Amino acid sequence: MKTVTAEHLIKSYNKGEVRALDDLSIDVTEGTVLGVLGPNGAGKTTTVRVLATLLKPDSGSAHVAGIDVIKHPDKVREVIGLSGQYAAVDETLTGWDNLVMFGRLYHLGKQESINRANDLLERFSLTESARRTIKSYSGGMRRRLDLAASLIVQPKVLFLDEPTTGLDPRGRMEMWGVIEELVTGGVTVLLTTQYLEEADQLADEIAVIDHGKVIARGTSDVLKRQVGGERLEITVENSEVVKVQEIVARISAHAPHIEGRTVSAPVSTGSTALIEALRALDEVSIHPLDIGLKRPSLDDVFLSLTGHVAEETVSQPVKRKRGGKR
Amino acid sequence: MKHLLSDSIVITKRQILQLARIPELLIFSTIQPVMFVLLFRFVFGGSIQTSQPGGYVQLLMPGIFVQTVAFTLAATASGLAQDMTKGLIDRFRSLPISRGALVIGRTFGDALLNILVLAVMAAAGFAVGWRPTSGFTRVALGFLFLFSFGYALSWIGIYVGLVVRDARVVQNVGFLVTFPMTFLSNAFAPTTGMPRALQYVAEWNPVSSMVAACRQLFGLKNEFGATATSWPSQHPLETSLLYIIILMAIFIPLSVRKYANSSS
Ligand SMILES: Nc1ncnc2c1ncn2[C@@H]1O[C@H](COP(=O)(O)OP(=O)(O)O)[C@@H](O)[C@H]1O
Ligand SMILES: [Mg+2]
């Protein structure tokens, strides 16, 4: 069952000069998390805004929980939760005020709105700051409150647009925890991110988008395989590099790549290759500083799919940490 | 549609809550008009000659009431623009709330604020010698006029806020509209001193009609107004009412439509 489907979405700006969405099709299976991965300007926010009824596409169609987004936006709004790229809460009010207000706007009764607000504040560890105005909240607290606001009525589908952008590592870990917990609750999630490791961590399936198009799609494993298999990677002392090069060449049957003291080459036999390598090294009494099978990172995926690294395609000063993952 | 009123009231409550959470906001929005009363009363009051029994302050107060109410326009516009730019609007739009509740709620909130500010100003005016002589009913009617005018103007504010969107720019646009509007009128000084062309503008300025209407309702001669024998200065009550109705008839549908379409 597909809970979210979008077909051939096109949206252009500036009289067609900028194609934010260029025939984009996407779908999310019920109860799963789709990670929409792409650099800044790829069209992630535009996609989310179309699906969350905030923006009408120039053409194409989209359904959420079986409801046509363009024809029945009001009905769609009753089943979705949205946590946008910028925390959409009233800065001048307290966390509690915000949640109660949103509860009332979801047409919950007064007492119900209050109970729900208290529950959510508790669940997102915001009870202590519930009575402070949002102005005094940290970035992570704002995002958590924003997420809480999108969960006031149990949504069937949750849209999270770059939920951790701008958070420090601790805030990011907390947010990941919160999202993972949500997902076990069974909600269908479409999550966008610029962080390759985030998609890997949270998503069941990943759609890589660039310039308003889906350029690859699959589980993180499938995507990695698409880029190429595993590599055997051995780091040794400088004096041993030449010997190790021979060993690796024998196991891999490919010419090894040498970078500093690290020798690597693609292998197809997985852990067998690793054992072989360890034996061979032991025979010549070489004790490697590091040895392992390296699977390609999603960074590598992006590079091989687009021919460029996952960098901003629009000039915006966004600081990114490259996600090298072991 | 069935939730339009209740949704609007939630939005209005939000605005009241904002004032409660940041009391400085309320203090400053009431200090300003009080300051105007005192400044005009004591700075200009001495030098403007009038045959009005009770002196300049009697003529001044209606002018200052109208001016203050006119400033609602800028306040409404910048408040809305702030919501529009801060991403908060996206949340409101993704909620299953009635179209228009956000803007209607804001006009209610600003109307409440207007009532409060008018009350504070009336008290300040009373303290410096303002004494309407026409009896309770007519004075109350005068305030009803002021209130309605403010409400009509806040719909212009909504429209400006939706069109301009940038809160800082909106503030300036608001003043660009309200300052000439309030000073190119009979609010503070006789229009007779103005160049002929401006006199006509002042004569047909809704602010002049409103001020003249209030003066009439408060039991004063409209000393600063009638230079020409134009229809507005002969019939200030009718003209004001007409202006209020026309402004609302234009800007309410215009704003609601603009809001509904302002997503893309
Ligand atoms: N309102 C707009 N006016 C003009 N161009 C826009 C507008 N919104 C988005 N764009 C452009 O559309 C492209 C996709 O934007 P967006 O969906 O925000 O990307 P992402 O969220 O992936 O960073 C970008 O090139 C962006 O500059
Ligand atoms: Mg974005």
Q: Average of pLDDT values for A261-268?
A: 86
- Count of pairs with CB atoms under 8 A, one residue in A, one in B: 74
Q: Give B97's contacts in chain A (Cβ within 8 Å).
A: 105
Collapsing DSSP to helix, strand or coil, B52 comes out as: coil
Q: ∠ at Cα A248 (A243, A254), nearest 5°?
A: 125
> Tell me, what amino acid is at A246?
E
> By the CB < 8 Å criterion, does B5 face chain A?
no
Nearest CA in chain A to B16: A93
Residue ID of nearest Cα to ligand 1 atom 18: A45
Tens-place pLDDT, residues A15-70 = 888 999 999 999 999 999 999 999 889 999 999 999 999 999 999 999 999 999 99
pLDDT band at A119 (very low <50, low <70, confident <90, very high): very high
Residue-level pLDDT at B225: 59
* Dist. CA A179–CA A302, nearest whole Å: 24
Residue A112 has pLDDT above 50, yes or no: yes
Label the pairing between strands A33-37 and A188-193: parallel
In terms of DSSP H, where are the helices of chain A?
A: 44-51, 73-77, 95-105, 110-123, 139-149, 169-184, 196-202, 220-227, 241-252, 271-283, 298-306
Residue-level pLDDT at B96: 86
- Asked if residues A53 and A69 have their Cβ atoms less than 8 Å apart, the reply is yes
Chain A: nearest CA to B243, how far in angstroms?
Answer: 34
Tens-place pLDDT, residues A144-172 = 999 999 999 889 999 999 999 888 888 88
Q: Give A74's contacts in chain B (Cβ within 8 Å).
A: 96
For residue B204, which phi and psi values (nearest 5 degrees)?
-95, 0
Residue-level pLDDT at B74: 87
Chain B: nearest CA to A239, how far in angstroms?
Answer: 59
Q: Where are the domains of chain A?
A: 2-79+155-225, 230-294
CA of A75: how far to CAs of A26, A52, A67, A195, B113, in Å?
21, 11, 7, 32, 35
Nearest CA in chain B to A87: B87
Chain B: nearest CA to A303, how far in angstroms?
Answer: 33
Query: What's the CATH number for A2-79+155-225?
Result: 3.40.50.300
Tens-place pLDDT, residues A10-28 = 999 988 889 999 999 999 9
What is the rounded (10 degree) CA torsion for B44, B50, B55, B56? -30
Residue-level pLDDT at B150: 95
Fold of domain A230-294: Alpha-Beta Plaits (3.30.70)
Residue A290 has pLDDT above 50, yes or no: yes
Question: Structurally, how many domains does chain B consist of?
Answer: 1
Q: Average of pLDDT values for A295-309?
A: 71
User: Is the Cβ pair B18, A90 closer than 8 Å?
Assistant: yes
* Dist. CA B4–CA A52, nearest whole Å: 21
Tell the burial category of B197 from Cβ atoms under 10 Å away from its Cβ (0-12, 13-18, 19+): exposed
Residue A323 has pLDDT above 60, yes or no: no
Overall residue count recorded for chain B in this entry: 264
Residue B179, token pair as written in the block: 């300052």
> By the CB < 8 Å criterion, does B200 face chain A?
no
Residue-level pLDDT at B223: 64
Greater pLDDT, A302 or B153: B153
Q: Average of pLDDT values for A80-93?
A: 88
Residue ID of nearest Cα to ligand 1 atom 25: A41
pLDDT band at A326 (very low <50, low <70, confident <90, very high): very low
User: What are the residues whose beta carbon lies below 5 Å from ligand 2 (ion)?
Assistant: A 44-45, 85
Residue-level pLDDT at B191: 82
Q: Which domain holds residue B254?
A: 2-263
Mutate to test the pocket of ligand 1, among A10, A19, A40, A46 (most ligand atoms within 8 A of CB): A46
In order along its 264 residues, chain B shows pLDDT tens digits of 678 899 999 999 999 999 888 888 788 888 888 998 898 888 877 777 777 777 888 888 999 999 999 988 888 898 888 888 777 888 888 888 887 898 999 999 999 999 999 999 999 999 998 999 999 999 999 999 999 999 999 999 999 999 988 888 888 888 888 888 888 988 888 888 888 888 888 888 999 999 999 999 998 876 665 555 678 878 889 999 999 999 999 999 999 888 887 754
Q: Give B14's contacts in chain A (Cβ within 8 Å).
A: 90, 93, 97, 101
Label the pairing between strands A290-294 and A231-235: antiparallel
